[in-house]
Homo-oligomer: A and B are copies of this chain.
Amino acid sequence: MAVNTRILLAARPEGAPKPSDFRIEDIPVPEPRDGDVLLKILYLSLDPYMRGRMSTAKSYAAPAAIGDVMPGGTVARVETSRHPDFVEGDIVLSYSGWQSYALSKGAGLRKLDPAVAPVSTALGVLGMPGFTAWSGLLLIGEPKPGETVVVAAASGAVGSAVGQIARIKGARAVGIAGGPEKCAYVRDALGFDAAIDHHAVDFPAQLAAACPNGIDVYFENVGGAVWEAVFPLLNKHARVPVCGLIAGYNATSPSGSGPDRLPVLMREILSRSLLIRGFIQTEFAAAHEAQFLREAGAWVGSGQLRYKEDIVEGLANAPEAFIGLLEGRNFGKLIIRVAP
């Protein structure tokens, strides 16, 4: 008899998550009733926002409860359908979490066509991370031709799309990544105008040199030391869409020890007419997701928008892979292959 392997939140992490914050368990695969589809999970997406779900600190979504299945986006195959809209073998995007099977009533499922693009891209370049990049860059950042766009985690799912879309729109793209291998990929494979290694001791000076005309759009997904290097370079009327702050996700204290940088930030917001705007891509989905899928699908097809997947085999390896994601150990969109 088939088992459903699930990974539960076992404890709220103090600082960086540890393997013992997760618990793995096997239970029977659930029985679909009328109106249900039984999904067999093929791919599980691992994303930085999941760190927020493990914590009770206020965030843009409610935390997972202790004992809950860890949440997450998934690509699944319909094993059994008792729902009129789905048949066995359909491949769907679902939000089934860290487990190998799930029931669904059909709401929120989106059918995927394997002929259009590899279905795993629905978790990356043609999914939530891609739409995060597209919406934050184009709807908030609004880069103009010739302007300079900077993004960190530039070899990752969001950052790689930000820089490439910036270039498609005629802007200069400067990527920040960790280590020479990732930087070479960002520059050579993705075609960014420059790539800077944030491990370099003279990282701020290298970034300044790569942005001789300053920074017009900084797509913020990391915070921390990268923000410190970017901030002095922001031009008048620069735009800063904020979709993540991964550098602080494992912080145990909400505030730093000082000096207090808030007054300087506010003064510069005023004197440089800066725009800073937090966002979650869901707010733009109703109005813009179809356009994104059309445009990004075409760019992927034409080779203008490339992507890299870092696929880890086996659900049991998800906790370790997720811990590595928060440390920047992945290289490309991190995905767990749950079933072949």
Interface residues, chain A, with chain B CB atoms under 8 Å away: 52, 58-60, 220, 223, 227, 236-237, 242-245, 248, 251, 254-280, 283
Q: Is the beta-carbon distance between B271 and A58 smaller than 8 angstroms?
A: yes
Set B260, B270, B279: member contacting A259, Cβ < 8 A:
B260
Oligomeric state, in number of copies?
A: 2
Set B256, B270, B283: member contacting A260, Cβ < 8 A:
B256
> Closest approach, in angstroms, between the C-beta of A163 and any C-beta of chain B?
21
| Chain B residues with CB under 8 A of A227 | 266
Q: Is the beta-carbon distance between B264 and A254 smaller than 8 angstroms?
A: yes
- Contacts A245-B267, A262-B265 aside, 11 further interface pairs with beta carbons under 8 A come to A58-B268, A60-B236, A255-B260, A255-B264, A258-B258, A258-B259, A259-B260, A260-B261, A269-B277, A274-B278, A275-B277
| Chain B residues with CB under 8 A of A236 | 60
| Chain B residues with CB under 8 A of A255 | 259-261, 263-264
**Measured between alpha carbons, how far is A202 from B230 in the docked complex, in Å?**
39
| Chain B minimum-CB-distance residue to A52 | B271
Q: Is the beta-carbon distance between A254 and B263 smaller than 8 angstroms?
A: yes
Set B244, B265, B268: member contacting A270, Cβ < 8 A:
B244
**Measured between alpha carbons, how far is A264 from B258 in the docked complex, in Å?**
12
| Chain B residues with CB under 8 A of A276 | 269, 274-277
10 closest pairs, A vs B, by CB?
A: A258-B258, A256-B260, A261-B262, A269-B278, A270-B278, A255-B259, A275-B277, A273-B278, A276-B276, A59-B271
Q: Is the beta-carbon distance between A278 and B272 smaller than 8 angstroms?
A: yes
| Chain B minimum-CB-distance residue to A223 | B266
| Chain B minimum-CB-distance residue to A283 | B273
**Measured between alpha carbons, how far is A280 from B275 in the docked complex, in Å?**
12
**Measured between alpha carbons, how far is A60 from B257 in the docked complex, in Å?**
30
| Chain B residues with CB under 8 A of A242 | 266, 269-270
Set B259, B270, B279: member contacting A257, Cβ < 8 A:
B259
| Chain B residues with CB under 8 A of A279 | 273
> Closest approach, in angstroms, between the C-beta of A298 and any C-beta of chain B?
29
**Measured between alpha carbons, how far is A276 from B275 in the docked complex, in Å?**
6
> Closest approach, in angstroms, between the C-beta of A280 and any C-beta of chain B?
6
**Measured between alpha carbons, how far is A260 from B251 in the docked complex, in Å?**
14
> Closest approach, in angstroms, between the C-beta of A24 and any C-beta of chain B?
30
> Closest approach, in angstroms, between the C-beta of A49 and any C-beta of chain B?
10
**Measured between alpha carbons, how far is A251 from B267 in the docked complex, in Å?**
11
Q: Is the beta-carbon distance between B263 and A260 smaller than 8 angstroms?
A: no
Sample 20 A-B pairs with CB under 8 A, ordered by A number: A59-B271, A60-B270, A220-B266, A223-B266, A244-B270, A248-B266, A248-B267, A255-B259, A255-B261, A256-B259, A256-B260, A258-B260, A262-B262, A265-B265, A268-B278, A272-B278, A273-B278, A273-B280, A274-B276, A275-B276
> Closest approach, in angstroms, between the C-beta of A132 and any C-beta of chain B?
12
**Measured between alpha carbons, how far is A104 from B195 in the docked complex, in Å?**
52
Q: Is the beta-carbon distance between B262 and A256 smaller than 8 angstroms?
A: yes
**Measured between alpha carbons, how far is A262 from B236 in the docked complex, in Å?**
20
